Structure 1
Amino acid sequence: MALAVAERRRQDREVVPPAPAKDRYRWWGPLAVALFAGVLRLWNLGYPHAFVFDETYYPKDAWSLWEQGYESAWPDNANQLILGDPQVIPLSHAAAFIAHPPLGKWIIGLGTHFWGLHPFGWRIAVAVLGTLSVLMVARIGRRLFRSTLIGCVAGLLLAVDGLQFVMSRVGLLDGVSAFLVLGAFGALLVDRDRTRDLLRAARAEGGLAADRIGLGLRPWRLAAGVLLGAACAVKWTGAPVLLVLTVLVLLWDQAGRRAAGARRARRSTLRRDLWPAVLSMPVAALAAYLLSWTGWLATSGGYGRHWADDRAGLSPDSVLGIPLPQVSMSWVPAPLRSLWHYHAEIWGFNTNLHSPHTYQSNPWSWLVQGRPVSMYWEQLQPGQRGCTASGGCASQILALGTPFLWWTACFALAYALYRWFFRRDWRSGALLAAVAAVYLPWFQYQERTVFSFYMVVLVPFLCLAVAQMLGAMLGPAGSTPSRRRWGAAGAGLIVLAIIGCFAFFLPLYTAEVIPMSDWHARMWFTSWI
């Protein structure tokens, strides 16, 4: 009897409405939040008129890709020439070694293609993706928690996160990665709801229907695979996310079959769902990834493009000066072998990057924003650029997540862990899986030069976790009016505190010229300086 009750409860947890109930705000609410985020991100986007942090690399690589299909080397005075006169482009046809795949730079280059090689041009594409990420979070939160209000709160939290705001206003790759990973997560949620419709019908049939049913063509899962392949084509940090979400999809399929009454849910999943999942996730991702290298493959001037022309193997000639035997792989086209060798060099560079940097930090400190990255800094004397303070002024872009949001997210993750471990809440499990896929791989690089702004990919999932906790504070719909009022007051105060914190730090996100005394007032910890 106890086992039957436990099984019934497990099935009840899995059988949820296929989609949130429709309401008049299901699109207007998320669109309003996205509009607010878009105004913030696009306002004065071309300021500062300078290369911000690693913008000294990616916009120039993006311009090269759009002009000739591969990244070029640039002269030492290229920055001054570009910023002094956008019409003077000192493009070289000499190839340069680049440590990241090309897709993110193709996307950044879309803006420079239409608006030219100047700050607004190389920032606009990332700003648009950052704004769309807010819209996606609001819609994903609505689908995940079956509440338009909670979804819009999650979108609002993302709109006022300082790290996501800063990374949406600079021409770096990480904002592009964040958009693609989030899009894949959302696509898998849609796929989950649609497959639950099929499994619900199988449950109604009874018998062995849930074991035998095929889940058919799943275009949303295929879209997720393509998006994750695209994320890998921006930065290889998308690979762990691809692995974790592929496993997560199979676990969802198994749980869905069990909830629908399957007698051998695990066996049915392995027989009917494993290979379709592999084809629509890792295989589709690989195809999307290779497609991003089309420019390098189709042209002849890219770095290492002809490495394999006079070789029959794949491996480098030597490692650390030690000759390596060459295995004949002449049946593989030379461009693909050259690409493999290029990837070996990229891997070696990225895993052995130990050059000290002032703003590098350890992953242990990232969730509490222990060491944010200063991406732009200028100290001004009285009279310069409108500075009227006798003690001088500062203009800075600090990649700092809104502190109150990130500190609240630490509690929200603990709450999600409780919900998943003790209540078997699949929503909490999905968020924790995404967090683990993005965050945990960095801990294996304790000695590598890494930066806290890499966590911009994590921010949407932190906002969803906080929104889930705030929804729990609000209480279920059947709660007493008093319980709902107190819960709404507590949740509202947290949201207002986060918005106020963002407004307080906004000058440090936009390089506003402020007195040095105001700048010092915002340096809450010495590790932020």
Structure 2
Amino acid sequence: MRAAAEVTRRRLARFEPRGSVSSWYATGFVVLVAAVLRFSGLAQPQGKLFDETYYAKDGWGLLTKGVEWNYRDNAPAYVVHPPLGKWLIALGEWAFGYYDVDGNQHLTGHLIDAAPEFGWRFSAAVAGTVSVLLMVRIARRMFGSTVLGCAAGLLLALDGFHLVLSRVAMLDIFLMLFVLAAFGALLIDRDQRRRVWLEALAAGTGAPTGVRWWRLFAAFLFGCAVSTKWSALFFLPVFALLVLWWEAGARRSAGVRHPWQETFRQETGALVLCGFVIVAVYLTSWSGWLLTDDGYFRHWRADSGQSELPVIGALQNLIHYHQQAFGFHSTLQDKHPSQSWPWQWLLLGKPVTVHLAYPGAPWGQAPVSEIILLGTPLLWWSFLPALAGTTWLGIARRDWRPGAILLMVAAGWLPWFYYAADAHRVMFNFYTAPILPFLVLAVVYVLGAMIGPPDPVDTDRRLVGAVAAGAYMVLVVLCFAYFHKLFVGDFLPYADWANRMWLGDRWHP
């Protein structure tokens, strides 16, 4: 009986080590590296880069009008993404200032008067830095190692793709942050639930009950993700599956006779409650549109001669807006020089050129300033082998962690293959943003398997694995340093710029 209880205790034990001051010092160092890289020279290059021409203006419209606004036409702007990411951009503009639509009047920030580019890029830099913090702690929790947690955070901090998204006013860094944070909240919920089960068994009581605050917080964060970009909905079935899988696993470890049946019976209501939280957060993000009269399609029913009841009419108008926006997303086929397909993304087949300038001389003679949305090549070309290794290790070890990682990658990547094959929809490599942390987790999981657990008998194997993993990390750092100027737009002599175009015309603008 005692042996059976010990087995149950081990099955319900959490993976992550207990928190320590030293782990937070190490985390702080990694986050400091990320912050310095993201905030240094943030206001350069000047002007609006790539989609900043939309989102910086939309943020200012939300701040001043409550809705996205076209100042040139003095009319509401038609936009096809939810407002939350643009509200976050607006916070930086409120704090540090903005230029008006013609760029000739400096509007002073409420906290610090800074370059306007710093204002509209500030929130993205904060989101990128916070995502590195979350990466360290999530990896540490999953892998039970501060070293592996810091390795994951450092790989994310030194990824060029992540760095560029952290330094431009686009929505994808916020989408990544909220998806990663929601996953982290579910991890904490999983660990707490298993601990509560363990305590209930030790006390001889029945199945544990109570409010699942971390799960509700995960729903709130997921609502924030959907309120930033609709593509977050790809992750909804996976989040629900993870909850059910982990709940059934806890019940199985606790000795429940029909774990899946009990899980569906007891958790369905809680999942429905999470759905209400997600919807509430999403509608709240549209409060500027709902509570004013100026938004695009705000009074579509009245304008088209139909009845428009209070509250219900506003929701009907919002539904119509969403139908029109969904039609735009589903049929977007306008060609773009930086467009790419899902099978190219992890191979760095066609990165987006965010900025390009070569003043003072013809192309080929002038120094080049370019910002290219390019992942650190050595890291990104490790992703597919890491996914294969994670799959094999997950099957061989019967480990839940590879399954969670692979499900998150599949949720954010595979749906785009459908849109590419069926609708031929135009798409870009930054659509991979929400799965980037999980690709890094796959790499770190394989690195951890290479190092292995302490073995007093075969210490050489662990040493060889640690040296190999350390060498890989050093090479990624060197690769990042070599391409760094292409991530921040520093000028390079043309020959040096050309030497960094490893895939030739595929990387050329």
**TM-score normalised by the chain length of structure 1:** 0.87
Residue 294 of structure 2 is aligned to residue 301 of structure 1 = yes
Matches within 5 A, 1:221-300: 221-280=215-274, 282-300=275-293
- Kept in 2, the 8 Å contact 1:375–1:399? The answer is yes
Between the two proteins, what is the percent identity of the paired residues? 43
Match of 2:412 among 438, 447, 450: 438
- Kept in 1, the 8 Å contact 2:353–2:370? The answer is yes
Separation in structure 2 between the aligned mates of residue 216 and residue 416 of structure 1, nearest angstrom: 35
The aligned residue for residue 105 of structure 1 is 86
1:190 is aligned with what amino acid? I
Assess, with a 3 A threshold, how the Cα gap between structure 1 residues 12 and 405 changes in structure 2: closer, same or farther.
farther
The aligned residue for residue 83 of structure 1 is none
- Kept in 1, the 8 Å contact 2:15–2:143? The answer is no
Separation in structure 2 between the aligned mates of residue 18 and residue 151 of structure 1, nearest angstrom: 13
The aligned residue for residue 483 of structure 1 is 461
- Kept in 1, the 8 Å contact 2:386–2:442? The answer is yes
Residue 350 of structure 2 is aligned to residue 371 of structure 1 = yes
2:501 is aligned with what amino acid? M
**What is the CA-CA distance between 1:499 and the residue it aligns to?**
0.8
Residue 341 of structure 2 is aligned to residue 362 of structure 1 = yes
Assess, with a 3 A threshold, how the Cα gap between structure 1 residues 365 and 139 changes in structure 2: closer, same or farther.
same
Helix, strand or coil: the match of 1:257?
Answer: helix
**What is the CA-CA distance between 1:8 and the residue it aligns to?**
11
Matches within 5 A, 1:401-480: 401-446=375-420, 447-478=424-455, 480=458
2:267 is aligned with what amino acid? D
**What is the CA-CA distance between 1:452 and the residue it aligns to?**
0.5
The aligned residue for residue 114 of structure 1 is 95
**What is the CA-CA distance between 1:393 and the residue it aligns to?**
1.1
**What is the CA-CA distance between 1:248 and the residue it aligns to?**
1.0
After TM superposition, the runs of 4+ consecutive aligned structure 1 residues lying more than 4 A away are: 7-14, 310-313, 328-332
The aligned residue for residue 190 of structure 1 is 188
1:423 is aligned with what amino acid? R
- Kept in 1, the 8 Å contact 2:62–2:87? The answer is yes
- Kept in 2, the 8 Å contact 1:93–1:301? The answer is no
Assess, with a 3 A threshold, how the Cα gap between structure 1 residues 259 and 418 changes in structure 2: closer, same or farther.
same
Separation in structure 2 between the aligned mates of residue 58 and residue 9 of structure 1, nearest angstrom: 56
Match of 2:175 among 174, 177, 199: 177
Matches within 5 A, 1:46-65: 46-65=43-62
The aligned residue for residue 85 of structure 1 is none
The aligned residue for residue 325 of structure 1 is none
**What is the CA-CA distance between 1:277 and the residue it aligns to?**
2.2
Please, which moves more after superposition, 92-101 or 369-378?
92-101
Assess, with a 3 A threshold, how the Cα gap between structure 1 residues 311 and 394 changes in structure 2: closer, same or farther.
closer
1:252 is aligned with what amino acid? W
Separation in structure 1 between the aligned mates of residue 180 and residue 396 of structure 2, nearest angstrom: 27
- Kept in 2, the 8 Å contact 1:37–1:131? The answer is yes
The aligned residue for residue 105 of structure 2 is none
Please, which moves more after superposition, 476-485 or 428-437?
476-485
Please, which moves more after superposition, 389-398 or 406-415?
389-398
The aligned residue for residue 320 of structure 1 is none
Separation in structure 2 between the aligned mates of residue 64 and residue 390 of structure 1, nearest angstrom: 40
**What is the CA-CA distance between 1:471 and the residue it aligns to?**
1.0
- Kept in 2, the 8 Å contact 1:34–1:131? The answer is yes
The aligned residue for residue 493 of structure 1 is 471
Assess, with a 3 A threshold, how the Cα gap between structure 1 residues 519 and 310 changes in structure 2: closer, same or farther.
closer
Separation in structure 1 between the aligned mates of residue 468 and residue 62 of structure 2, nearest angstrom: 51
1:444 is aligned with what amino acid? Y
Matches within 5 A, 1:498-513: 498-513=476-491
**What is the CA-CA distance between 1:246 and the residue it aligns to?**
1.5
The aligned residue for residue 144 of structure 1 is 142
**What is the CA-CA distance between 1:424 and the residue it aligns to?**
2.1
**What is the CA-CA distance between 1:28 and the residue it aligns to?**
1.1
Separation in structure 1 between the aligned mates of residue 333 and residue 270 of structure 2, nearest angstrom: 41
Residue 498 of structure 2 is aligned to residue 517 of structure 1 = no
**What is the CA-CA distance between 1:53 and the residue it aligns to?**
0.5
Helix, strand or coil: the match of 1:237?
Answer: helix
Separation in structure 2 between the aligned mates of residue 17 and residue 8 of structure 1, nearest angstrom: 16
Match of 1:34 among 24, 31, 35: 31
Assess, with a 3 A threshold, how the Cα gap between structure 1 residues 376 and 331 changes in structure 2: closer, same or farther.
closer
1:99 is aligned with what amino acid? V
Residue 156 of structure 2 is aligned to residue 130 of structure 1 = no
**What is the CA-CA distance between 1:13 and the residue it aligns to?**
7.9
Separation in structure 2 between the aligned mates of residue 504 and residue 524 of structure 1, nearest angstrom: 12
Helix, strand or coil: the match of 1:392?
Answer: coil
Show CA shifts across 1:28-77 (max 9, x none): 111110000100000000000011100010000000001010111133xx
Separation in structure 1 between the aligned mates of residue 360 and residue 364 of structure 2, nearest angstrom: 8
- Kept in 1, the 8 Å contact 2:38–2:129? The answer is yes
Separation in structure 2 between the aligned mates of residue 456 and residue 395 of structure 1, nearest angstrom: 24
- Kept in 2, the 8 Å contact 1:111–1:125? The answer is yes
Aligned length: 484
Helix, strand or coil: the match of 2:358?
Answer: strand
Helix, strand or coil: the match of 1:450?
Answer: coil
Separation in structure 1 between the aligned mates of residue 339 and residue 34 of structure 2, nearest angstrom: 29
Helix, strand or coil: the match of 2:380?
Answer: helix
Helix, strand or coil: the match of 1:395?
Answer: strand
Question: Structure 1 regions of 5+ residues with no counterpart?
Answer: 76-91, 314-327
